[in-house]
């Protein structure tokens, strides 16, 4: 997994986290850690660009949910808690759409996973970076 970041100034500063590669059990913790670093450095609006992510496993769902919690100012469940972290993802849709984390350029398999788990409405999604950045 390759991760890059970019800062864009719009109405509010927006940080873009670009992921390249599958988001799965081999790297989801690194993605959570990178998002935590960005938040601790002052980022408050995050656009996750998944154009280069053709596949996402349940661990990827945990990563996206954890990132959303972090950017809401909450503590994410410990990934070591296994099923508890997965159940927390399932409860996420009940908390409403995320204001501080949005998704860009979802690949078809990623859309399918988010849709099948009920998490697609949890995130605002975009196909155009300028529109996504302006939405914050």
Q: How confident is the model at residue 34 (pLDDT cuts 50, 70, 90)?
A: very high
**Structure-token match 């998944």, residue found:** 50
Kindly report, residue by residue over 89-122, the tens digit of the pLDDT.
555 555 667 899 999 999 999 999 999 988 888 8
pLDDT exceeds cutoff 70 at 7? yes
For residue 119, the enclosing domain spans 2-134
DSSP per-residue codes, the chain: -EEEEEEEESSSEEEEEEEES-BSTTTHHHHHHHHHHHHHTT---EEEEEEE---B-HHHHHHHHHHHHHHTTPPPPPGGGTHHHHHHHHHHGGG---SSEEEES--HHHHHHHHHTT-GGGSEEES-HHHHHHT-
CA distance 66 to 94: 15
pLDDT value for 58: 87
**pLDDT: which is higher, 100 or 65:** 100
CA distance 102 to 131: 11
Q: Compute the average pLDDT of residues 75-101.
A: 63
Q: Indicate the number of domains in the chain.
A: 1
| CATH number of residue 27's parent domain | 3.30.750.24
Q: Compute the average pLDDT of residues 129-134.
A: 97
pLDDT value for 3: 98
pLDDT exceeds cutoff 60 at 84? no
Mean per-residue pLDDT over the chain, rounded: 88
**Structure-token match 């990563």, residue found:** 63
Cα 34–40–41 angle (5° rounding)?
90
């Amino acid at each position: 997994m390759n991760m890059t970041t970019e800062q864009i100034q719009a109405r509010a500063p927006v940080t873009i986290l670009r992921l390249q590669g599958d988001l799965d059990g081999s790297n989801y913790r690194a993605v959570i850690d990178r998002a935590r670093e960005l938040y601790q450095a002052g980022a408050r609006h995050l656009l996750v660009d998944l154009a280069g992510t053709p596949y996402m496993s349940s661990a990827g769902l945990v990563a996206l949910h954890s990132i959303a919690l972090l950017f809401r100012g909450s503590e994410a469940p410990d990934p070591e808690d296994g099923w508890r972290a997965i159940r927390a993802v399932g409860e996420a849709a009940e908390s409403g759409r995320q204001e501080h984390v949005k998704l860009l350029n979802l690949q078809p398999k990623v859309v399918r996973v988010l849709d099948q788990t009920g998490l697609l409405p949890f995130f605002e999604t975009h196909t155009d970076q300028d529109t996504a950045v302006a939405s914050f």
